[in-house]
Chain A
Amino acid sequence: MSVVVFTRSTPDTAAKVEADASGGVSWGDAATVVNPWDEYALEEGILQAKAGAGKAVVVAIGGEMHSEALKHSLAMGLDEAARVEDAGIDPTDSLAYATAAAAVVKKIADVDLVLFGKESVDVGSDQHIVQTARKLGWTMLSYVSKIVAVDYAAKTIKVERMLEEGRQVVTSRLPVVISVMKDINEPRYPSFIGIRKASKAVIPLWSLGDLGIAAPPPRTKVARYKNLPARDTRFELIEGTPEEQAKVLVDRLIEEKVL
């Protein structure tokens, strides 16, 4: 069996990200990291491949910058990596992404489990994850905080999902696509040996032709990035004893009509 984890490189979480005059986006010379939610999916990929006596494959769809996330994944201990880049795929168009991701899973073959982090912070979206499941015709289990039980021989799975109102336990049949929440595991740090091995790895690059599909029809595009509207910079320091501070603050909050 195989487990496939999709990931991507995103700007360091502390980086300052700004739109430029031409509508592009930049983060200066800040480094990229693995999309913060994906660390948990990568860790779960390693654990589940071991549990199913199979291999864990990590895939990124997008340009060269995403090789960094793949190398980090290999250094963590995933077995194989591949990157998909093709002028016919705009990774910000969720339907195009999902069409390519489903073709990747079919190419890898014998896949029981596809894992994603809860969302991609750069596109600010999780819809490509659900759409990958639908394009495969598989069950989608989103917002999973725990894999309670999985039987790769009997093809059954039981998970706990974290929803707004609480925790739901769901059973289903493999294969499935899962998006994972932060509290599913403790991601490991890459080992020194892992980093050395990953730095030498040659990562295959697949085009749509290699995946055996035509370019999907475009559905959405990012017209431009814009900076956030400036925040109100007024600031009032409220001083005094705790009781005096509380009284003045409540006065202000009533004036602001937020109490």
Chain B
Amino acid sequence: MSAVIAWVEAFNGKAIPATWEALAAARMLADKFAVPVVALIIGEGGEALAAEAGQFGADEVLLCADSSLNNYRLEAYAGVLTALVQSHHPRAVVAAATSRGRELLAASAADTDSPMLGDVLSLSVGDGWISADRAGYAGKVLSETQVVGGETQFVTVRSRAFKALDPKAGAAPQVSSLAPALSEDQIVSKVESFETEAGTVNLTDAAVIVSGGRGMANNPKDAPADAGDAAVWKARDGFANVLQPLADTLGAAVGASRAAVDAGYIPYAHQVGQTGKVVAPDLYIAAGISGAIQHQAGMRTSKIIVAINKDKEAPIFKMARYGLVGDLYQIIPALTAEVKKRLGK
């Protein structure tokens, strides 16, 4: 098969947004190589996803359905992908650079001694070899990285770096099925439980992010006498009752600075920055965040940055398009009310 394979990633049966961005990148590469895009869908119930993959640019679909594949596990999925690469020698394999996409493609690239360009921001092709711009040194520089050998070229693309194609109605890709590579007793990892956080917006997919920092502790509300650390109580109350309502109104994800996470104001899953998540929303609102260089590493590619801070000398204002000097506990509620009024939400 001379083709570009795009792995379609789904969670609870629904495609994740970044997967159609990866399919658009696969489409671009396939057009350069003049080969079709084959969408690979692993797990039972993939028929609906197959039609959707066709709308987003796949020419053909391979379905690999088996009860051992219903919950993603690296060993089981890499078994499928590696066997497919070994038997069909595709020109490239593309996926979104999510937790799963990164490890799945890295595993199959290793199994087949293939080159991999991970978490790419842009792609180009010269003489059949793929070249990519990637973030290096905590996002402070770009590294132009090239494939220099091997057969199948593996690529994962960063969320929001590529735009999904406009869905084509009525596309009907040819669907074939593929056998699983491993049986359940060959897979040593077992998933015991998966506790999902309901209703939260994924930071790396988010178009709008509202983040809070150390300044969240300046909540004018009084902490109850039995609260323990008053600053922690005030900040947590502020995240829950001041920042979250703005995020809900904007359909935004809630982020935080390392200082806020380390002080125990909000769980680590929300941390944006060098040892947290790297995000690239259209709008990033930083409230009570001074903007240390380590924080900037995680959010500097945001399109519009709004800084709200008491200290007009805070470095975050150097990054910002719009700056509001003042008390976030007055400005954020006013902003929430204004957005509700103007957008009729």
- Asked if A pairs with B, the answer is yes
The answer to the question of A55 belonging to the interface, with a C-beta cut-off of 8 Å to chain B, is no
A258: contacting residue among B105, B267, B282, CB under 8 A:
B282
Contact B116 A246 (CB under 8 A): no
How many interface residues does chain A have, given as a range?
35 or more
Tell me, in angstroms, the Cα distance from A174 to B271 when the chains sit together: 31
Say yes or no: is A127 at the interface (Cβ < 8 Å to chain B). yes
Inter-chain contacts of B165 with A (CB < 8 A) = none
* A246 x B110 contact (CB < 8 A): no
- CB atoms of B113 and A224 under 8 A apart: no
Tell me whether B138 and A121 are in contact (CB under 8 A).
yes
Which residues of chain A have C-beta atoms less than 8 A from B78's C-beta? Answer: 134
Set B145, B202, B282, B324: member contacting A245, Cβ < 8 A: B324
Report if A6 contacts B (CB, 8 A).
no
Interface residues of A in 196-255 (CB under 8 A from B): 216-228, 231-232, 234-239, 242-243, 245-247, 249-250, 252-254
Q: Is B176 in contact with chain A by the CB < 8 A criterion?
A: no
Asked whether any CB of chain B lies closer than 8 Å to the CB of A191, the reply is no
Cβ of A131 within 8 Å of any chain B Cβ, yes or no, is yes
Given A95-B110, A253-B304, A25-B334 contact (CB < 8 Å): no
Asked if residues B141 and A143 are in contact (CB atoms below 8 Å), the reply is no
Contact B148 A170 (CB under 8 A): no
The answer to whether B323 touches A131 (Cβ under 8 A) is no
- B145 touches which one: A166, A223, A227 (CB < 8 A)? A223
Q: Which residues of B contact A228 (CB under 8 A)?
A: 140-142, 300
Among listed A10-18, A41-49, A81-89, interface-contacting one: A10-18
Q: Which of B190, B323, B334 contacts A235 (CB 8 A)?
A: B323
Residue with the greatest number of chain A CB neighbours at <10 A, chosen from B189, B303, B304: B189
Nearest chain A CB to B74's CB is how many angstroms away?
6
Given contacts A130-B106, A181-B268, contact A259 B145 (CB under 8 A): no
> Within the complex, which residue of A13, A163, A224 is in contact with B293, where a contact is CB–CB below 8 Å?
A13
Q: A125-B118, A223-B145, A252-B322 are in contact. Are A170 and B303 (CB under 8 A)?
A: no
Within the complex, what minimum Cβ distance (angstroms) separates A4 from chain B? 18
Q: Which residues on A sit within 8 Å (CB–CB) of B303?
A: 258
Report the bound CA distance from A82 to B248 in whole Å.
51
Given A122-B136, A182-B268, A231-B300; A139-B331 close (CB under 8 Å): no
Contacts between chains A and B (CB distance < 8 A), count: 260
Summarize B's interface: helix, strand, loop or mixed: mixed
* Chain B interface category by residue count: 35 or more
Name the one of B109, B141, B327 contacting A227, with C-beta atoms under 8 angstroms.
B141
Within the complex, the shortest CB–CB distance from B153 to chain A, in Å, comes to 9
In the complex, what distance in Å separates the CA atom of A218 from the CA atom of B110? 13
Contact status B106-A127, CB under 8 Å: yes
Query: A222–B304 contact, CB under 8 A?
Result: no
B281's nearest neighbour on chain A, judged by CB, is A258
**Cβ A259 vs Cβ B339 within 8 A:** yes
With an 8 A cutoff between CB atoms, is A79 at the interface?
A: no
Partner of B107, one of A92, A134, A246: A134
Q: How far is the CB of B242 from chain A (nearest CB, A)?
A: 12
With contact pairs A170-B191, A226-B144 given, residues A142 and B321 touching in the complex (Cβ less than 8 Å):
no
Q: Across the interface, which residues of B come within 8 angstroms of A140, CB to CB? A: 74, 103, 107
Closest to B331 in A: A242
- The answer to whether B322 touches A236, judged by C-beta atoms less than 8 angstroms apart, is yes
| Contact (Cβ within 8 A) B110 A142 | no
Asked if residues B118 and A127 are in contact (CB atoms below 8 Å), the reply is: yes
**Which parts of B118-163 form the interface with A (CB within 8 Å)?**
118-119, 131, 133-150
Q: 7 pairs across A/B with beta carbons < 8 Å? A: A124-B143, A182-B275, A217-B149, A217-B150, A220-B148, A247-B338, A250-B342
Known: A94-B118, A238-B323. 13 other contacts (CB 8 A): A25-B141, A95-B110, A126-B103, A141-B189, A142-B74, A164-B11, A165-B194, A168-B193, A172-B189, A219-B148, A227-B141, A249-B338, A258-B208
Residues of B within 8 A of A (CB): 11, 16, 74-75, 78, 98-100, 102-103, 105-107, 109-111, 113-119, 131, 133-150, 188-197, 202, 204, 207-208, 250, 267-269, 271, 274-276, 282-283, 292-294, 300, 303-304, 306, 317, 319-327, 330-331, 333-335, 337-339, 342-343
Residues of A within 8 A of B (CB): 10-11, 13-14, 16-19, 25, 27, 36-37, 92, 94-95, 98, 121-131, 133-135, 139-143, 145, 158, 162-173, 181-183, 216-228, 231-232, 234-239, 242-243, 245-247, 249-250, 252-254, 256, 258-259
Instruction: Please list the 8 inter-chain residue pairs (A to B) with the smallest Cβ-Cβ separation, ordered nearest first.
Output: A219-B115, A131-B110, A127-B106, A166-B196, A134-B110, A130-B106, A246-B334, A17-B140
